[in-house]
């Protein structure tokens, strides 16, 4: 007999006791752990006087049974591992994880139907579903990780699962300075810009740290202000006293009741916000956000882009998806007038996240091209002060911030304004 056989015996016995006692192991994990310990201890007492197979590793068996019944099976150890940033499953025998920005194929093997069972268990707390009418799903796990899943025949043969963990516990910009994401000089400027009410766009590629940076910028907002956030799924975690967070909703089985991100942005404006935050703009909701920012309501959002200049171009393009009556003639000057700063993030070859540039939009447009000014730029791998200045310097004065003194320092280098 093998340890696996003993483990299976204990697993079946615990599952039967859970059924009899009406225990929910996910909701009451402490009771589940106590029950498993009780069954394992009783099993070891019976082994010497019975034909039961010996239990060679009680701790491993306890962990396996607990993960299977109260956690997410073989994937739970990766969710518990603080070094694992992301988990994805391409097929039952191909489970990958990312550590420090680098991917690796694990030795974990799942049974053919196990992926679907795990996904259904993961989706249960959110109330979201995955079926033929909704072959894609985004949801949040209880620990704050973001789940994305796709089923065949959208995928070729197997269900595809991706779990992006929120592993960086950064509550403020000082935490990112400690991690080397940006310099203390740049952090002081960004904090002042947020306090002064500048509109900030966080841009970067996948896993560059956009959500983490956006979260720390939000926590620089003065606590007296009312913040309303709009997201696909809840990922931001503002540590502020007056916050309303909203997320999108899937349609029901009849195809009704869907709430898209654009609707959330519109509704947010009716909730007396001092600031509006959009987790990420991808489509026509960018138009509603621009209109809100252009009306004098400060805000922030993130966008996928390879550079700050590309982020500006993208913000000039996405609103065109809102309808044929939306044209460049309206969007380009609106972006120039509404967006104040673009903060570009990148992921380095060693997996670390760094702010590569902070660019200002002075508000001018020439021949349909938005003028930009470098405030901080990367030289020889270091974020240094450039020559540009942000717009709305009067807002800094209003909050008692000496902007020239804040930006001055030994890091000052050349640079200046150019066009994008």
Q: Which of 80, 89, 128 is nearest to 234 (CA)?
A: 128
**What b-and-e string marks burial along 123-140, b requiring 16 or more CB atoms within 10 Å of the CB?**
beebebebeeebeebbbb
Measured CA distances, 106 to 77, 78, 112, 115, 245 (Å): 12, 10, 17, 15, 36
Q: Which helix (H) or strand (E) holds 347?
A: strand 341-347
Rounded to whole angstroms, what are the CA distances from 250 to 42, 146, 163, 262, 265? 46, 16, 19, 14, 16
- Residue 204: strand pairing partners: 304
335-373 pLDDT, tens digit each: 999 999 999 999 888 878 999 999 999 999 998 899 999
CATH of domain 173-419: 3.40.50.300
Q: What is the pLDDT of residue 215?
A: 94
Helix (H, G, I), strand (E, B) or coil at 227: strand
CA-to-CA distance for 345 and 205, rounded, in angstroms? Answer: 8
- Is residue 198 within 8 A of residue 220, CB to CB? The reply is no
Domain boundaries, the chain: 3-71, 76-164, 173-419
Task: Name the pLDDT band for 374 (thresholds 50, 70, 90).
Answer: very high
pLDDT at 385: 95
pLDDT one-digit tens code per residue, 132-176: 888 999 988 888 888 999 999 899 889 999 998 876 567 899 999
Strand 299-304 with 200-204, pairing: parallel
pLDDT at 419 over 60: no
**What mean pLDDT comes out for the span 179-195?**
95
- pLDDT for 270 equals 92
Do residues 149 and 162 touch, judged by C-beta distance below 8 A? yes
Which residues does residue 346 pair with via DSSP β-bridges, in sequence order? 354
CA angle 389, 392, 395 (to 5 degrees): 120
Please write the tens of the pLDDT for every residue from 211-225. 999 999 999 999 999
Q: What is the mean pLDDT of the chain?
A: 89
pTM of the model: 0.81
- d(CA 228, CA 243) in angstroms, rounded, equals 6
SS3 360: strand
Which CATH architecture does the domain made up of 76-164 adopt? 2-Layer Sandwich (3.30)
- Distance (Å, rounded) from C-alpha 101 to C-alpha 65? 31
Domains 76-164 and 173-419 share a fold: no
Position 253 scores a pLDDT of: 76
Asked whether the beta carbons of 141 and 149 are under 8 A apart, the reply is no
Question: What's the first-to-final CA gap in the chain, in angstroms?
Answer: 70
Handedness of CA 129, 134, 135, 138 (dihedral sign): negative
Give the model confidence (pLDDT) of 88-141 as tens digits: 999 998 999 998 778 899 999 998 788 999 999 899 888 888 888 889 999 888
* Strands 136-140 and 146-150, bridge-based pairing: antiparallel
For range 33-60, the mean pLDDT: 89
Secondary structure (3-state) at 5: helix
Q: Residue 324, exposed/middle/buried by CB under 10 A (0-12, 13-18, 19+)?
A: exposed
pLDDT at 240: 93
DSSP class of residue 40?
Answer: H
pLDDT tens for each residue of 216-267: 999 999 999 999 999 998 889 888 999 999 999 988 777 788 899 999 999 9
| pLDDT more than 90, % of the chain | 60
CA-CA distance, 118 to 116, in Å (whole number)?
5
pLDDT of residue 411: 43
| pLDDT of amino acid 409 | 59
Q: Average pLDDT for residues 386-390, to the nearest whole number?
A: 94
| pLDDT for 167 | 64
What is the band of 410 on the pLDDT scale with cuts at 50, 70, 90?
A: very low
Q: What is the pLDDT of residue 286?
A: 94
């Amino acid at each position: 007999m093998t340890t696996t056989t003993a483990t299976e015996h204990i697993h079946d016995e615990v599952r039967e006791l859970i059924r009899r006692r009406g225990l929910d192991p996910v909701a009451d994990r402490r009771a589940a752990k106590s029950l498993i310990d009780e069954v394992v201890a009783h099993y070891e007492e019976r082994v010497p006087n019975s034909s039961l197979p010996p239990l060679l590793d009680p701790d491993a068996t306890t962990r396996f049974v607990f993960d299977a019944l109260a956690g997410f099976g073989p994937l739970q150890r990766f969710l518990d591992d603080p070094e694992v940033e992301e988990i994805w499953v391409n097929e039952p025998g191909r489970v990958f994880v990312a550590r420090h920005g680098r991917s690796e194929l694990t030795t974990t093997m799942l049974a053919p139907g196990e992926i679907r069972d795990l996904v259904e268990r993961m989706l249960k707390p959110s109330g979201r579903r995955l079926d033929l009418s909704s072959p894609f799903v985004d949801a949040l796990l209880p620990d704050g990780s973001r789940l994305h899943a796709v089923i065949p025949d959208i995928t070729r043969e197997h269900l595809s699962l991706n779990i992006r963990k929120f592993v960086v516990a950064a509550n403020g910009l000082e935490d990112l300075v400690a991690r080397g994401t940006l310099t203390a000089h740049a952090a002081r400027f960004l904090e002042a810009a947020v306090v002064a009410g500048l509109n900030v766009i966080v841009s970067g590629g996948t896993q560059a740290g956009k959500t983490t940076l956006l979260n720390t910028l939000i926590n620089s907002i003065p606590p007296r202000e009312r913040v309303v956030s709009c997201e696909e799924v809840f990922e931001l975690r503002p540590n502020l006293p007056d916050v309303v967070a909203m997320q999108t909703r899937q349609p029901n089985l009849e195809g009704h009741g869907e709430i898209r991100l654009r609707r959330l942005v519109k509704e947010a404006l009716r909730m007396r916000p001092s600031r509006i935050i959009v987790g990420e703009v991808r489509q026509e909701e960018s138009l509603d956000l621009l209109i809100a920012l252009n009306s004098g309501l400060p805000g922030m959002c993130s966008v996928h882009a390879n550079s700050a200049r590309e982020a500006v171009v993208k913000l000039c393009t996405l609103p065109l998806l809102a309808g044929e009556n939306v044209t460049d003639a309206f969007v380009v000057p609106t972006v120039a007038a509404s967006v104040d700063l673009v903060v570009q993030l990148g992921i380095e070859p060693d997996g670390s996240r760094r702010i590569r540039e902070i660019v200002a939009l002075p508000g001018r447009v020439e021949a349909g091209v938005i003028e930009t000014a470098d405030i901080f730029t990367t030289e020889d791998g270091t974020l240094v002060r450039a020559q540009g200045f942000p717009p709305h310097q009067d807002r800094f004065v209003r909050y008692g911030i000496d902007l020239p003194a804040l930006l001055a320092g030994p890091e000052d280098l050349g640079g200046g304004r150019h066009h994008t």
